A and B are shown apart, each in its own frame.
Chain A
Amino acid sequence: MGRFLLRRLILLPVILVLLNFLGFCYAALAIQVHRAQSPYGAQEETTPQVIAQYRDYARGLLRFDLGSLPVGTHSPIGAFVAQGLGASVGLFGLAFLLSLLVGLPLGRAAIQLDPPRTRPWLTGLATAGLAMPGFYIGTLLVSLLLMQVSEANSNPALPVSGFGWDLHLILPLVALTIRPAVQIAQVTASLLSEELGRRYVTAARSFGLTWRMILREKALKNILAPLFLSISSAFRLSVAELILVEYLFDWPGIGRMLARTLVPPSTVGPRGLLDVGVYFLWPPLMAALLPLFGLLFYLVDTLASALARRVDPRLGAPEEVTYG
């Protein structure tokens, strides 16, 4: 386990530097492509080579200067991204925790014990739930609230956009929670029903053990490893949802930042696509965001793998097995 974690930690800075370089170069190249396609045609100034641009940027990076946002704001990117990270981690963390709190018991409740199988209602619920992306759920909620507003001629009961660790949190939280909760419930139920169909469970039942004891002592422990790995997979998919939900509710997190970096604004100006407040394909910002997302994926994957190895030693590397 120790070596596994050490290997992962050693790889981490390499991956972050690589992502930083790739993100910068990607944005620097892509913006040149877009400038050529801009409605304002070939009236753009020439830009230095990508590698030369990265070299200048890297010099600043060594001074812990991540660059600043483009013309008009000049805010330091470090502070900008840190602020967004806080907003995203808070929202996403809460949503994921909630989805675990809802999904795991739901999956357990959907198990029919004798014979062990998943109850049909969960299949239906999961199929419907997985078909509904977070932005659709968010749009549905917003529509319902606005309908209520138009009928009652009042303000919406919940804020439909904006940031705040208050009522502003509710709609994005709900939109972000439902799909992973349903996915986790389905995975849990599927793993449990398969586990409860094994012979050792039949044997344990014949010895008089109750279902509760079997579940608590054996079955749940045996499914933990694949469950952790499935949850990390659900986490990755939820990151894509985060981008859309933050965009919908105007939540100022790194998801919305990434969307604005990758999606051109609906307006362009004579400078092409870099007008005030717009940072589409801004290389230093892309260079900061890509490693951040990479770090999130990497840490969660490492955590899930470490936990899986902890509960199931068979998943450990051969050199970690000691012979005494």
Chain B
Amino acid sequence: MDSAFRPRPASNWALAAGLGMVLAVALMAVIGPAFAPADPMKETYIGQVGTRFIRPPFPPNSVEGYPLGSDEWGRDLLSRLLWAVRPTLTLVLVVAAVRLVLGIFAGLVSGWSSTWFSRLLDTLISACLAVPVLFVALCVIALMGSEWGVWAFIAGLSLTGWAEPARIVREQTRSLKSQTFVEASRAMGAAPEQLVLGHILPHVLPMMWIQLAFEVAGTLLATAALGFLGYYMNGIWIPIGDWVGQHTTGMPELGEMLGSATTQRVPWSALFAGTVVVLIVLAFNLLGEGLRRQLSPERQRRRADMTRASARAGAWVEDRAYAAAAGILRVASANGVVVMLGVVIIGGVWLISSTQAPAPSQTAVTLPGGNWWATSKRDAQSTYWAAAKGPSQPRILWKFTTQSGFVGGPVVDSRGNLFLSNADGAVYAVSSGGMLLWKKAPAAQPFGSPALSPDGNILVVDVQGGLSALSPQGELLWSVNYTENDQPLSEPVVGASGTAYYATRTRLAAVYPSGKLRFLINLPTYSYVDPMPRLSLDERFLFFEDTVVNAQTGELEFDQTPPPMDSYVVGADGKNYDRLQDGMSEWQLSENGYVLIQSSEFDVRNLGMNFRRPAESGVSPDGNVWLVLSTGFDVPSFVWMEPARSRLQVINFPSVMTRLIGIDALGRVYLCSDMNEGNSFCRAVDGSTAAKAWDFELPEGRGISGGAILPGRMYVAVAQHIFAIGDE
């Protein structure tokens, strides 16, 4: 056909529209959250329409501030949509890229060679194409379970999803294999690898731009379908009653918005999320269709501008310039695909991993005297936060056994020696290698764990409300009782000055390092849940439940705050907090008095924990909040809240009789449980992701009395044994 009569190519509207829409989606993913009008996790219990008050879910445009309405928990849908695009798109891009990479590899091998392996690949490709991806993804994700999180999605969606690109690459490869230029290269001595990588692959790769667009669309549809059925990222399990747990949602994600919507009651949530999904799929489908048209050989030839000018010039241009341009485009396109796939896979995996992998958080609360673990809860602030990474392997290093059981957990001094109280009335000193150093009885039967002073002395409260001090060599330094034989309520804590503080049933006592009384006051409150005195980091205040006492003089600073079940705690970041039933409020004292800095809360009702009280609590060095919520009759729950990322994680303890041992610098939670049958066992689980690091059944003993976390090691006191667990 004469090139002068080639019709002008029709405008590629699909490419223009697709490109525009994809750019808009990318923009939404990057800067969308910044435009969210509200916190996507903030729940609202009631909204006002005129003079009426209505409960969520709010229909679209019914309540001010909720243009698209809300979900069942009163969370703004527009904000959630703006936040949801980014994680969804990240996952989808990573999966699409993984599928392409696998498909390219499989397609090249299958298309190039004719060995048994390539025939096997052919069969595998056909088998994978025969089964819908959703089916396979459901089976894989159901098998892997929630522990694998987003990796289960990547595995499930990629397991058979690579077959379609593999089929295309295979057909291309077979077609190119018989081309003259390939035969010529082979004749000139090129090795098969050189032919495949140097000749076939550069011709195949430009088509992968098109395939990537379609893969993204297909993966997004599969992800949306999985989310609709109830499989989505950031889902968590929480108990909602004595015998029932519920699966609920965390950070917004498109699949989650589809899955958590009760279509009959809250159809608009699924509708809006579904519409966003459809628009993104449409964008990528149009882009793929547009690229397919743009890169078709016919369109490449139909460049009417220059070929119309002169038939000869057009032929010259076509033979020289366009061939060269096509070659350059092909090379650039091929390299672009490789670069793009690399960026997407590496970037996406990094992005996903960064949400999973914990980074060490160094506590601001250092132990005076260089001790490793100075009280039952690590320090005088009761943060539980260890200064180093705990054991990565549950291996018994040694075991120390006594005749009677231990009555508390160990404390560990700067030399690594352990000190524990025993039911036989003595304090035991054990070396870091598990050898008995000495054993000494204070004035009366010890109560709970001892505490360490900055100079290494061991302070122990006894059952008569007295306090004794022992030297690191086991010598009794002094023994006092200022509380008139009152029943002890807490173990001692010791400040940097060496002053020891402890509580009895009616008193709060402070004793100097010499044994002299600093102050003795009536217990500031008789309502206590966690009756452990806590010192502020500057040792200005002594906190006991919801009262604040001057740590120097014992004078009451303030007490009986309005929130119910609140308690003053100190975070591992060194800041003072008011621990509420459902969160934490940071506060500080100024000339204006008590000043609230910021507050982080979660909804106990929707987590089914409104009948629980916080038994333990704390704040990580980077401001993440954790609480252990319990009624005392059911399994406690460990709630981890990351206010900066609006992320909530709930970890259910294995049994009612579970004790928190500590949290290491990586945010890994160590706990030990007494089960209904069998020996006690210990578990290490990541606080922010709930990923279990290890489970370990102790070889003997039931009755956990305490523990300590050291670098690469954990000590657990159970019955009459103390076990050292961990790395060498």
Contact = CB atoms under 8 A, between A and B. Distances in A.
Contact of A139 (B240, B271, B289, B654): B271
B558 interface: no
Interface in B272-298: 274-275, 277-279, 281-282, 285-286, 289
A131 B281 contact: yes
Contacts of B237: 38-39, 268
A140 B274 contact: yes
Interface residues of B, number: 59
Nearest to B142: A262
Interface stretch (B143-151, B412-420, B430-438): B143-151
A136 B59 CA distance: 19
A38 B246 CA distance: 11
A30 B152 CA distance: 13
A13 interface: no
A136 B274 contact: yes
Interface stretch (B34-42, B44-52, B127-135): B127-135
B654 A41 contact: yes
A324 B131 CA distance: 41
B653 to A, nearest CB: 8
B244 A259 contact: no
B286 A127 contact: yes
A131 B285 contact: yes
Contact of B225 (A42, A133, A297): A133
B230 A123 contact: no
A122 to B, nearest CB: 12
Given A136-B274, A268-B244, A301-B130, A143 B268 contact: yes
Contact of B243 (A161, A239, A262, A269): A269
B224 interface: yes
Interface stretch (A64-72, A212-220, A242-250): A242-250
25 contacts: A26-B139, A34-B142, A37-B145, A39-B245, A40-B635, A41-B655, A42-B654, A42-B681, A43-B675, A127-B285, A131-B281, A133-B221, A133-B278, A136-B224, A139-B274, A142-B263, A142-B264, A146-B267, A236-B130, A236-B131, A240-B133, A240-B134, A244-B228, A248-B263, A263-B231
Counting chain B CB atoms within 10 Å of each CB, which of A29, A39, A128 scores highest?
A39
Contacts of A293: 135
B143 A42 contact: no
A270 B244 CA distance: 7
Contacts of B139: 26, 262
A267 B245 CA distance: 5
B622 interface: no
A80 to B, nearest CB: 20
Nearest to B637: A39
A127 B267 contact: no
A190 to B, nearest CB: 12
A135 interface: yes
A84 interface: no
Interface of A is mostly: helix
Contacts of A132: 278
B239 A39 contact: yes
Given A259-B229, A263-B231, 17 more contacts: A34-B145, A39-B239, A41-B654, A42-B675, A43-B654, A43-B675, A123-B14, A132-B278, A139-B274, A143-B267, A143-B271, A150-B59, A161-B264, A264-B142, A268-B245, A270-B243, A301-B130
Contacts of A262: 138-139, 142, 229
Interface of B is mostly: helix
Size class of the A contact interface (CB-based, 8 Å):
35 or more
Given A43-B654, A262-B139, A127 B14 contact: yes
A73 B228 CA distance: 27
A10 interface: no
B695 interface: yes
Contact of A237 (B132, B143, B144, B279): B132
A81 interface: no
A270 to B, nearest CB: 5
B164 to A, nearest CB: 11
Nearest to A248: B263
A293 B131 CA distance: 10
Contacts of A259: 138, 229
Given A40-B635, A43-B676, A263 B143 contact: no
Nearest to A115: B7
Contacts of B695: 42
A135 B228 CA distance: 8
Given A127-B282, A127-B285, A132-B278, A263 B138 contact: yes
A35 to B, nearest CB: 10
B271 A140 contact: yes
Contacts of B55: none
Given A267-B246, A268-B244, A269-B243, A33 B274 contact: no
Contacts of B267: 139, 142-143, 146
Interface in B674-704: 675-676, 681, 695
A33 B143 contact: yes
B243 A135 contact: no
A148 B591 CA distance: 60
A244 B245 contact: no
Nearest to A133: B221
Interface in A252-296: 259, 262-264, 266-270, 281, 293
Nearest to A238: B132
A40 B225 contact: no
Contacts of A39: 237-239, 245, 635, 652
A127 B247 contact: no
Contacts of B246: 266-268
Interface string A170-187: 000000000000000000
B217 interface: yes
A160 B262 CA distance: 13
A37 B695 CA distance: 12
Contacts of A41: 635, 652-655
A39 B246 CA distance: 9
B201 interface: no
The 6 residue pairs across chains A and B that have the minimum distance between CB atoms: A41-B654, A240-B132, A143-B267, A131-B282, A131-B281, A136-B274
A40 B245 contact: yes
B652 A40 contact: yes
B663 interface: no
A43 B674 CA distance: 11
Nearest to B288: A127
Nearest to A271: B243
Interface in B1-28: 14
A124 to B, nearest CB: 9
Nearest to B270: A139
Contacts of B268: 143
A98 interface: no
A102 interface: no
B167 to A, nearest CB: 12
Contacts of B132: 236-237, 239-240
Interface in A105-156: 123, 127-128, 130-133, 135-136, 139-140, 142-143, 146, 150
A293 B136 CA distance: 13
A266 B264 CA distance: 17
Contacts of B274: 135-136, 139-140
A135 B139 CA distance: 20
Contacts of A270: 243
A272 to B, nearest CB: 10
Contacts of B278: 131-133, 136
Interface string A14-33: 00000000000010011001
B186 to A, nearest CB: 30
B288 to A, nearest CB: 9
A223 to B, nearest CB: 20
A136 B138 contact: no
B244 A267 contact: yes
Nearest to A275: B244
B172 to A, nearest CB: 19
Interface in B377-426: none
Contacts of A26: 139, 143
